[in-house]
A = this chain, B = another copy of it.
Amino acid sequence: MAKLTDVAKLAGVSPTTVSRVINNYGYLSQKTIDKVHAAMQELNYQPNNLARSLQGKKTQLIGLIFPSLKNPFYAELIEYLEKKLFDREYKVIFCNSENNPEKEKYYLQMLAANQVDGIISSSHNLGIDEYERLNLPIVSFDRLLSPKITTVSSDNLAGGKLSAHALIERGAKNLAIISGASQSGSPSDYRTQGFMEVATTFDLPCKHLEIPSGTIISIKKNKIKKFIEENNFDGIACTDDLTAIYCEEYTNCPIIGYDGTELIQALHPELLTIVQPIEELAQVLVDVIIDKINGKETELEIILPIKLQQNI
């Protein structure tokens, strides 16, 4: 990671001048300020590293970058992450990326400047570069960020397969799957792929409806309604539980959801679903980020098993 002296060298000024620019004191010409800023930018230098290295200690802060709390899956995962980090004496800076690359980029810069010890990211609008150049311990949830960054997920491919088997066991012969927008390497894609593979194996027809996340609920519901009314499905899989519950409004055929949060299980105990091990995922994410902070080697890919929740 770039040091203050590196910035000074590149800008052709003394370290004291760099410190003055950062702390905004003493007389400085605009030319000097510009030179130092340019060097800081080129080296991706984060000013607060100064304070950090002066203090010579960790901040005990972890940045969590997640797309939305409105999905109960993320809310529950973050609830567990906070608990488990608290037990290890870490606090959480919560960053909602809203699937907005600009906001995510700004947050990454702020997190580095704010001296977090590490980042757990579940939001990958950005290219690999932005994460790799941070030079901070990072663990990625659910998506491969870079060959250098550990990814933790549950077994999305197996989950998709299991949901197809569950519907076929219930007599389904005309299958459908409703997922988020196709995006290479997304969890939703793996679930869809697993589902399709089993449909092909059993030689069963299978239609696929993609609805981008962030679609207005009423529009989403209309798409689902039309998709169901225009076909004669006898088994529908969804890559999340909320979509599965929307489907219940338009058909009585077997439906299977995905995620298995405590909230949806409590509100909809009738829903057949694939359960992700939310608490265990949080535990592994916390273990990995703390291992990385402490300089330990970690596995590059950790995949936890999913299970079927039978409806009652």
Alpha-carbon gap, A205 to B92, bound state (A): 48
> A245 and B267: CB pair below 8 A?
yes
Copies of this chain per assembly = 2
Task: Let me know if A78 is at the binding interface, CB within 8 A.
Answer: yes
> B70 and A82: CB pair below 8 A?
no
Task: Let me know if A294 is at the binding interface, CB within 8 A.
Answer: no
Main secondary structure of the interface of A (DSSP, over half): helix
The listed residue (B98, B110, B262) touching A70 by CB distance below 8 A is B262
Alpha-carbon gap, A110 to B267, bound state (A): 36
The listed residue (B59, B79, B245, B266) touching A69 by CB distance below 8 A is B79
> With A51-B55, A114-B61, A263-B70 known to touch, is A94 a contact of B82 (CB < 8 Å)?
yes
Task: Let me know if A126 is at the binding interface, CB within 8 A.
Answer: no
Task: Let me know if A15 is at the binding interface, CB within 8 A.
Answer: no
Contacts of A254 in B (CB 8 A): none
Alpha-carbon gap, A266 to B266, bound state (A): 16
Interface size class of A (residues with CB under 8 A): 20 to 34
Alpha-carbon gap, A208 to B67, bound state (A): 40
> With A93-B93, A110-B91, A242-B266 known to touch, is A68 a contact of B72 (CB < 8 Å)?
no
> A86 and B103: CB pair below 8 A?
yes
> A76 and B82: CB pair below 8 A?
no
The listed residue (B55, B94, B242) touching A94 by CB distance below 8 A is B94
> With A70-B262, A91-B93, A93-B91 known to touch, is A98 a contact of B78 (CB < 8 Å)?
no
Contacts of A93 in B (CB 8 A): 61, 91-94
Task: Let me know if A105 is at the binding interface, CB within 8 A.
Answer: no
Interface residue ranges of A56-105 to B (CB < 8 Å): 59, 61, 64, 68-70, 72, 75-76, 78-79, 82-83, 86, 91-96, 98, 103
Residue of B at shortest CB range from A79? B69
Contacts of A68 in B (CB 8 A): 79
> Can you list, as one digit per residue, whether each of A222-259 has a CB less than 8 Å from chain B (1) or not (0)?
00000000000000000000100110000000000000
Of the A-B pairs whose beta carbons lie under 8 Å apart in the complex, a sample of 28, sorted by A's number, is A51-B51, A51-B55, A59-B114, A61-B93, A61-B114, A68-B79, A69-B69, A69-B76, A70-B79, A70-B262, A70-B263, A72-B72, A72-B263, A75-B75, A79-B96, A82-B94, A82-B95, A83-B96, A86-B96, A86-B103, A91-B93, A92-B93, A92-B94, A92-B95, A217-B266, A246-B266, A246-B267, A267-B267
Q: What are the 9 tightest A-B residue pairs by CB atom distance, in nearest-first order?
A: A94-B94, A75-B75, A69-B79, A69-B75, A217-B266, A82-B96, A92-B94, A245-B267, A91-B93
Q: A69-B76, A91-B93 are in contact. List 16 more A-B contacts (CB 8 A).
A: A68-B79, A69-B79, A70-B76, A72-B72, A72-B263, A78-B94, A82-B95, A91-B114, A92-B93, A92-B94, A92-B95, A93-B93, A217-B266, A242-B263, A242-B267, A267-B267
